[in-house]
Amino acid sequence: MKQAVRMLIVVVFALGLMMQAGCGGERTVGGACDSDADCNERCLTGSDFPGGMCTVACRDDVDCPGGTDCIDKKGGVCLPVCDEHRDCFGGYRCKSEDRRGAGGKSRVCIGD
């Protein structure tokens, strides 16, 4: 009986990990997506987000997970920060964009 319970716990844990990996490995910010259902919160599409990108809404950087900044696009969204183009995945470039809530610019991964 104890072995069956342990096995059930392992299976539930593994399924949880597989579900989290459904959006390019990152369902919060930066993963590829087709619709909001692929992300924890929101899927951005269009020329700035080729292939779709999971993100979360923000008022400023405090609302964003580590490694992302709040950018003044689509009402404020968190985007992955970068130093150069190779830091971004296919179809994305490292560009300076206006920050939301903090002023200035931040280098983030965004479409061409």
pLDDT at 89 over 70: yes
Which pLDDT belongs to residue 50? Answer: 93
Q: How confident is the model at residue 25 (pLDDT cuts 50, 70, 90)?
A: low
Domain span at residue 35 reads 2-111
Which pLDDT belongs to residue 27? Answer: 86
Which pLDDT belongs to residue 112? Answer: 76
Which pLDDT belongs to residue 103? Answer: 86
Distance CA 25, CA 54 (A): 10
pTM of the model: 0.75
Domain count, the chain: 1
